[in-house]
């Protein structure tokens, strides 16, 4: 398998300088976050969302304060070698700078925390929201409040369930050999399996193709969401990284 999410190249081409940018400029760009971000909301339908790359290794705190307990530490890369990113939920200005509340790709699922904005890239905006209904074995992608893609999928078996909660699309991987379990491509999410996973690294829950389409739809996986290869190829043209994901 090769990782080909191309996040790094996309960032170089964006005209952004990760280390030398002005914090003041970041504050201006992020000024609208409070109005659109909902710290605990799962329904992003019609609202849009912000996300950012992790430019520098960062401590994540339980509150927007250096004195508060550290929840975890973020690296600049994922387990797959792609650029790490986080979904932004809220912003707060403090005497020591601007803080962002972010959704985290860790266990327990649905974890959040506060990180210094200076450690993140300029916030990006997405108009999309992905929803997975496990009971109906259905995936739906919305853009600006309108459903633009639907597909029947496979989800986790009862003993290895796909976790419920609010997550986001963390990276995109391509280059799998023909006929493999993951199909032509896969999306990594911020969700983690507390039991098992057919994702190869660190319990990350993915959305991927399949070499066994006859099993779909159904409760058939170790936690990942499986799609027919033709469906995930269509989805790949519509689904940007950073998109919020709600699994019910």
Looking at domain 128-247, its CATH class is mainly beta
Tell me the Cα Rg of the chain. Answer: 18
Q: Which pLDDT belongs to residue 203?
A: 85
Per-domain residue ranges of the chain: 7-126, 128-247
Averaged pLDDT in 10-residue chunks for the chain of 248 residues: 43 34 41 44 65 98 97 95 97 96 96 98 97 98 97 96 97 91 95 74 88 95 96 98 98
Is 208 an active-site residue? yes
Q: Which pLDDT belongs to residue 37?
A: 45
Q: Which pLDDT belongs to residue 18?
A: 36
Q: Which pLDDT belongs to residue 195?
A: 84
Q: With contact defined as beta carbons under 8 Å apart, do 209 and 183 qualify? A: yes
Q: Which pLDDT belongs to residue 100?
A: 98
Question: Of 44, 50, 208, 222, which one is the catalytic site residue?
Answer: 208
CA atoms within 13 A on the CB side of 17: 6
Q: With contact defined as beta carbons under 8 Å apart, do 25 and 121 qualify? A: no
Q: With contact defined as beta carbons under 8 Å apart, do 188 and 171 qualify? A: yes
Q: Which pLDDT belongs to residue 131?
A: 98
128-247 shares the fold of 7-126: no
Q: Secondary structure of the chain: what % helix, strand, coil (to 5)? A: 15, 40, 50
Q: Which pLDDT belongs to residue 44?
A: 52
Is 61 an active-site residue? no
Q: Which pLDDT belongs to residue 55?
A: 98
User: Taking the domain 7-126, which CATH number applies?
Assistant: 2.30.30.40
Q: Which pLDDT belongs to residue 179?
A: 87
The CA distances from residue 197 to 44, 79, 107, 160, 186, in Å, are 27, 14, 14, 7, 14
């Amino acid at each position: 398998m090769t990782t080909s999410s191309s996040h790094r190249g996309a960032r170089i081409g964006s005209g952004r300088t990760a280390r030398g940018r002005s914090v003041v400029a970041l504050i201006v760009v992020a000024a609208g976050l409070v109005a659109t971000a909902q710290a605990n909301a799962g329904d992003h339908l019609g609202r849009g969302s912000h996300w950012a790359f992790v430019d520098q290794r960062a401590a994540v705190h339980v509150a927007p304060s250096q004195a508060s307990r550290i929840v975890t530490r973020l690296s600049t890369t994922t387990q797959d070698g792609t650029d790490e990113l986080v979904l932004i939920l809220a912003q707060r200005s403090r005497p020591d700078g601007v803080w962002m509340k972010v959704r985290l790709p860790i266990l327990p699922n649905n974890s959040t925390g506060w990180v210094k904005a200076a450690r993140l890239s300029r916030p990006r905006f997405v108009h999309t929201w992905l929803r997975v209904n496990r009971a109906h074995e259905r995936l739906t992608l919305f853009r600006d409040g309108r459903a633009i893609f639907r597909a029947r999928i496979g989800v986790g078996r009862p003993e290895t369930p796909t976790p419920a909660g609010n997550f986001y699309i963390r990276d995109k991987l391509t280059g799998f050999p023909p006929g493999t379990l993951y199909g032509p491509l896969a999306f990594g999410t911020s969700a983690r399996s507390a039991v098992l996973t057919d994702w190869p690294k660190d319990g990350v829950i993915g959305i991927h193709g399949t070499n066994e389409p006859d099993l779909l739809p159904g409760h058939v996986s170790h936690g990942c969401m499986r799609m027919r290869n033709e469906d995930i190829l269509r989805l790949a043209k519509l689904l940007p990284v950073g998109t919020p994901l709600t699994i019910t």
